[in-house]
Amino acid sequence: MGDDKILLGHGGGGLLTRSLIDDEIVSRFGQGPLKGLPDGALLPAMKGRLVFSTDSFVVSPGFFPGGNIGDLAVHGTVNDVAVSGAKPMWLSLALIIEEGYAISDLRKILDAIKAAADDCQVQIVTGDTKVVRRGQCDGIYINTAGIGELIDGFDLNPNAIRPGDKVIVSGNLGDHGMAVMAAREGLGTGRLKSDSAPVHRLVQSILDVADKIRFMRDPTRGGMAATLNEVVADRDVGVLLDENRLPFSLEARGLSEMLGFDLLHVASEGRMMCVCDGAIANDVVNRWQTLPEGANACIIGEVKQDSGMNGRVVLETAIGGRRVVDVPQGELLPRIC
Amino acid sequence: MKYIDGFRQGDAGKFLGKRIRENAAKLAAAHPPIFIMEVCGSHTMAISRFGIRDVLPDNVRLLSGPGCPVCVTDAGYIDAALTLAKRDVIIATFGDMVRVPGSSDSLADARSDGADVRVCYSPAQAVDIAAENPDREVVFMAIGFETTIAPVITLIPSAMARQLENLSLLTAFKLVPPALSALIADPEVKVDAFICPAHVSAIIGSNAYLPYVEQHGVPCVVCGFEPLDILFGIDNVVSQFLKGERLLVNQYNRVVKPDGNRAALALFEKYLIPVDAGWRGIGVIPQSGLGIKDEFEKFDAAMRFSVSTAGGAPDPGCMCGEVLKGKILPADCPMFGDACTPQHPVGPCMVSSEGSCAAHYKYER
């Protein structure tokens, strides 16, 4: 393509649209169901049940240390499908691009989408591209929806959680939110990188103990605090976290101290947590630690039944005191995904 | 982080907690419970965040005093900002002020109605906003204790250096020592010792607290914000009571000097004069604020736009004043957690991230 900027005409449905789709979309994703650009993807019937999830991505800035809005849009939806106990298979991809957006940046984003989809072994099977006037969006927004096939053996339900169960996370918490925040505010990120990554291999690694896994989730917006509070809300159990065990990177801790954020409130985009039978907790940790994305996996807490704790997430601090871990209030980090 | 981690060592914290409990047990027979008041929002948050109250015995009680500048800002001050916002003035402010209710509305309400309210992480951003908007008036919401006053007041020389004629400050600066005097003088307030603010003390110096020790016999310990700092401070107070001592102790000597920060104090001297100031929920405390000197009055938004920041009519059911004086704990307010939450705050102590009510709601419900 000769021009270096996205024009309104690229979304008009005419020749410019056609060339954008051919040059940038079909060239990357034009195999399989997307071939020939039908209005809808024709997919094979599945034997089991399906999981279907969607997410929109408006992260600002679109490029941040450790990733960009493209791979984030793949990981976000793939992870939602995976932690629902499914094998992610197909994705839709809808782009909303601001007039004047650099085509070189669009290419980088599409390359990242392609690489992430290949890594996750999912196919982009349908999509859409719109261009809006300058000022009507911030560079580029992406929506992805994903379909996966439910894996036999998982019966995930927060109702199944019982006292003695352990809470496990797959790695350092909050790196994504802090990296985006640092990039947006020009704070200099040093070695701090987003953790944006897929978690489907972590899910696959615990398939044969699936019946002992009560619940899985990826702690994105609202961080671990929001995720765990959702798990215990209105239940007759609570979660006791051990501050000494919480895995945080040195860089994220430094930045969060400076800015006054609680890293338990900050999003990760490549981590997962599970609540499992205490008897298999060490086994899950060991399996996760053998994968690069689970290298820092650890047990961070335990499910308790106690009148003072039920329905709550409580942190035992390093000095031996206890405090409530609440859901974040209001706007914490605007637009981190 | 390695540096900070040194002040968060779990074992050392547990040791101090144990010693406090042991000494307090020795004290229990001879002395009623000791009430220690902290007067710094960051201490309030740290005490809640690190679970410090939870490791203390029943006869060592922590009270949160008027330590958050947002919390002590009068409703009338918010009303004045709203008046300016309606006159198409750009309001530049620290984020915490946006949701504080005035007599009726907050700046967040005004913003949703189209007012131009901009959140600044640093006061210096207000100078940039003024430079970028030469045709509009920009008012910075200049609140804060001594620590914040120092950087905020540099807006005046910055604006002069850049020849900006459209930037002014709506001041509600507050001074900590007059508030301590007012608390000591109030017969309804029960305070046996102060944990003195950390960064305010870096500006005014630890010697500023000598009168409370020497004239009123109230031990004062200047502490840092980390759990070991605060536990050390509490341990020190308890041990003073055990030995019958009344001392000024500067535990935070890695930052706080006896005479404070002379450069900052010289800035105060140059641009500001002591004024009577209204403290939300407490009332007017003589000479407890700083206002802009007459010779710099063009930077004084209240003068420039003829608005008054006094008074206002906060929600009559709000008990922030009782909380700020340490008379009640946040949970004792009938509105706490029901009518008043961080999502729908009635009083400023619930709005500010360093407010006592917000700290209790977040960490200690």
**Among candidates B1, B343, B364 on the partner chain, residue whose Cβ is nearest the Cβ of A323:** B364
Confidence of residue A1 (pLDDT cuts 50, 70, 90): very low
In a domain, B313, yes or no: no
Digit-coded pLDDT (tens) for B137-158: 999 999 999 999 999 999 999 9
For residue B362, the chain A residues in CB contact (below 8 A) are 324, 326, 329
Say how many domains are in chain B.
3
The answer to whether the Cβ–Cβ distance between A330 and B342 falls below 8 Å is yes
For residue B342, the chain A residues in CB contact (below 8 A) are 329-330
- Chain A: closest CA distance from residue B101 (Å): 16
For residue A318, the chain B residues in CB contact (below 8 A) are 8-10, 13, 50, 227
Report which of B219, B232, B196, B250 is spatially closest to residue B52, judged by C-alpha positions: B232
Bond into A61 cis (ω within 30):
yes
The answer to whether the Cβ–Cβ distance between A315 and B51 falls below 8 Å is yes
Confidence of residue A337 (pLDDT cuts 50, 70, 90): very low
- Look up the pTM and report it: 0.85
- Asked whether residue B150 falls in the same domain as residue B80, the answer is yes
**pLDDT given for residue B66 in this prediction:** 86
Structural domain boundaries, residue B113: 75-175+260-304
In a domain, B213, yes or no: yes
Would the pLDDT of A303 be above 60?
Answer: yes
Digit-coded pLDDT (tens) for A82-105: 999 999 999 999 999 999 999 999
Tell me which residues of chain B, numbers 218 to 237, contact chain A at a CB-CB cutoff of 8 Å.
Answer: 227-228, 231
Q: What is the mean pLDDT of residues A181-194?
A: 86
In a domain, B339, yes or no: yes
- Asked whether residue B274 falls in the same domain as residue B219, the answer is no
**Among candidates A185, A319, A324 on the partner chain, residue whose Cβ is nearest the Cβ of B231:** A319
Report which of B199, B311, B195 is spatially closest to residue B248, judged by C-alpha positions: B195
**Among candidates A250, A257, A326 on the partner chain, residue whose Cβ is nearest the Cβ of B362:** A326
Q: Which of A319, A322, A324, A326 should be substituted to probe chain B, the one whose Cβ sees the most B Cβ atoms within 10 Å? A: A319
Mean pLDDT value across chain A: 92
The answer to whether the Cβ–Cβ distance between A185 and B121 falls below 8 Å is yes
In a domain, B309, yes or no: no
In a domain, B312, yes or no: no
In a domain, B190, yes or no: yes
For residue A317, the chain B residues in CB contact (below 8 A) are 10, 49-51, 227
The answer to whether the Cβ–Cβ distance between A316 and B342 falls below 8 Å is no
**pLDDT given for residue A330 in this prediction:** 57
CATH number of the domain within which B109 lies: 3.40.50.11740
Taking CA atoms, A138 is separated from A142, A203, A254, in Å, by: 11, 34, 29
Residue with tokens 């001074």: B175
The answer to whether the Cβ–Cβ distance between B51 and A257 falls below 8 Å is no
- Asked whether residue B95 falls in the same domain as residue B201, the answer is no
Digit-coded pLDDT (tens) for A230-271: 999 999 999 999 999 999 999 999 988 888 789 999 999 999
- Return the residue of A nearest to B350 by Cα: A329
- Asked whether residue B89 falls in the same domain as residue B235, the answer is no
Residues of chain A above pLDDT 70, percent: 96
- Return the residue of A nearest to B16 by Cα: A319
Tell me which residues of chain B, numbers 168 to 197, contact chain A at a CB-CB cutoff of 8 Å.
Answer: none
Same fold, A8-150 and A158-324: no
The answer to whether the Cβ–Cβ distance between A319 and B1 falls below 8 Å is no
- Asked whether residue B88 falls in the same domain as residue B19, the answer is no
CATH architecture of A158-324: Alpha-Beta Complex (3.90)
- Asked whether residue B141 falls in the same domain as residue B182, the answer is no
**Is the Cβ of B121 closer than 8 Å to some Cβ of chain A?**
yes
Superfamily for the A8-150 domain = PurM-like, N-terminal domain (3.30.1330.10)
For residue A255, the chain B residues in CB contact (below 8 A) are none
Q: What is the mean pLDDT of residues B272-288?
A: 91
**pLDDT given for residue A261 in this prediction:** 86
* Cα dihedral value B251, B327, B44, B179, nearest 10: -60
Residue with tokens 């706080």: B256
CB A117, CB A74: distance < 8 Å: yes
Q: Which of B68, B357, B362 should be substituted to probe chain A, the one whose Cβ sees the most A Cβ atoms within 10 Å? A: B362
In a domain, B310, yes or no: no
- Return the residue of B nearest to A318 by Cα: B10
Confidence of residue B316 (pLDDT cuts 50, 70, 90): confident
In a domain, B124, yes or no: yes
- Asked whether residue B296 falls in the same domain as residue B348, the answer is no
Residue with tokens 């619940």: A215
- H helix intervals, B244-342: 262-271, 301-304, 320-324
Q: What is the mean pLDDT of residues A18-37?
A: 87
In the three-class reduction of DSSP (H, G, I as helix; E, B as strand; rest coil), residue B46 is classed as helix
**Among candidates B1, B8, B51 on the partner chain, residue whose Cβ is nearest the Cβ of A323:** B51
Q: Distance (Å, rounded) from C-alpha B290 to C-alpha B105? A: 26
Residue B32 DSSP code: P
- Return the residue of B nearest to A312 by Cα: B365
The answer to whether the Cβ–Cβ distance between A318 and B364 falls below 8 Å is no
Query: What ipTM describes this predicted complex?
Result: 0.79
Q: Which of B7, B54, B62, B117 should be substituted to probe chain A, the one whose Cβ sees the most A Cβ atoms within 10 Å? A: B54
Digit-coded pLDDT (tens) for B59-100: 999 988 888 888 888 889 999 999 999 999 999 998 888 888
**pLDDT given for residue B317 in this prediction:** 85
Domain locations in chain A? 8-150, 158-324
Confidence of residue A3 (pLDDT cuts 50, 70, 90): low
Confidence of residue A336 (pLDDT cuts 50, 70, 90): very low
Would the pLDDT of B351 be above 80?
Answer: no
Judged by average pLDDT, the poorest of A111-115, A226-230, B26-30 is B26-30
- Asked whether residue B138 falls in the same domain as residue B281, the answer is yes
Mean pLDDT value across chain B: 92
Tokens coding B102: 């005035």
Judged by average pLDDT, the poorest of A15-19, B25-29, B66-70 is B66-70
**Is the Cβ of B355 closer than 8 Å to some Cβ of chain A?**
no
The answer to whether the Cβ–Cβ distance between B53 and A321 falls below 8 Å is yes
The answer to whether the Cβ–Cβ distance between B342 and A244 falls below 8 Å is no
CATH number of the domain within which B183 lies: 3.40.50.11750
